[in-house]
Structure 1
Protein backbone atom coordinates (compact mmCIF):
# COMPACT_ATOMS: atom_id res chain seq x y z
CA UNK A 1 0.00 0.00 0.00
CA UNK A 2 1.17 3.52 -0.78
CA UNK A 3 1.16 4.87 2.78
CA UNK A 4 3.28 1.97 4.02
CA UNK A 5 5.89 2.43 1.29
CA UNK A 6 6.08 6.18 1.95
CA UNK A 7 6.46 5.55 5.70
CA UNK A 8 9.23 3.00 5.11
CA UNK A 9 11.09 5.37 2.80
CA UNK A 10 10.78 8.25 5.26
CA UNK A 11 12.14 5.96 8.01
CA UNK A 12 15.14 5.04 5.83
CA UNK A 13 15.84 8.71 5.09
CA UNK A 14 15.35 9.79 8.72
CA UNK A 15 12.36 12.00 7.91
CA UNK A 16 9.82 12.48 10.70
CA UNK A 17 6.41 14.12 10.46
CA UNK A 18 5.40 15.67 13.80
CA UNK A 19 1.96 15.10 15.20
CA UNK A 20 -0.32 18.14 15.19
CA UNK A 21 -0.60 19.89 18.51
CA UNK A 22 -2.77 22.55 20.04
CA UNK A 23 -1.70 25.45 22.21
CA UNK A 24 -4.24 26.42 24.84
CA UNK A 25 -4.02 29.85 26.47
CA UNK A 26 -5.91 30.47 29.67
CA UNK A 27 -6.89 34.07 30.29
CA UNK A 28 -7.64 35.46 33.72
CA UNK A 29 -10.86 37.47 33.35
CA UNK A 30 -10.55 39.04 36.80
CA UNK A 31 -8.23 41.69 35.33
CA UNK A 32 -10.94 42.74 32.85
CA UNK A 33 -13.51 43.16 35.63
CA UNK A 34 -11.25 45.58 37.56
CA UNK A 35 -10.82 47.92 34.58
Structure 2
Protein backbone atom coordinates (compact mmCIF):
# COMPACT_ATOMS: atom_id res chain seq x y z
CA UNK A 1 0.00 0.00 0.00
CA UNK A 2 2.81 2.42 0.86
CA UNK A 3 4.49 1.64 -2.44
CA UNK A 4 2.06 3.80 -4.45
CA UNK A 5 2.71 7.16 -2.69
CA UNK A 6 6.48 6.72 -2.85
CA UNK A 7 6.20 5.71 -6.50
CA UNK A 8 4.20 8.85 -7.21
CA UNK A 9 6.76 10.95 -5.30
CA UNK A 10 9.58 9.38 -7.30
CA UNK A 11 7.77 10.10 -10.57
CA UNK A 12 7.14 13.71 -9.58
CA UNK A 13 10.72 14.27 -8.47
CA UNK A 14 12.00 12.69 -11.69
CA UNK A 15 9.82 14.91 -13.86
CA UNK A 16 10.88 17.92 -11.75
CA UNK A 17 14.52 16.95 -12.26
CA UNK A 18 14.13 16.59 -16.04
CA UNK A 19 12.39 19.96 -16.19
CA UNK A 20 15.14 21.62 -14.16
CA UNK A 21 17.84 20.07 -16.33
CA UNK A 22 16.27 21.30 -19.58
CA UNK A 23 18.61 19.07 -21.55
CA UNK A 24 17.86 18.80 -25.26
CA UNK A 25 19.43 15.39 -25.80
CA UNK A 26 17.68 12.39 -24.24
CA UNK A 27 21.00 10.93 -23.09
CA UNK A 28 21.90 14.18 -21.35
CA UNK A 29 18.48 14.35 -19.70
CA UNK A 30 18.82 10.76 -18.45
CA UNK A 31 22.32 11.55 -17.16
CA UNK A 32 20.93 14.64 -15.42
CA UNK A 33 18.15 12.65 -13.75
CA UNK A 34 20.53 9.89 -12.67
CA UNK A 35 23.02 12.37 -11.20
CA UNK A 36 20.10 14.07 -9.44
CA UNK A 37 19.34 10.82 -7.62
TM-score calculated relative to the size of structure 2: 0.37
* Bigger radius of gyration among the two: 1
Q: Which has the higher contact order (CA 8 A, sep 6+)?
A: 2
TM-score calculated relative to the size of structure 1: 0.39
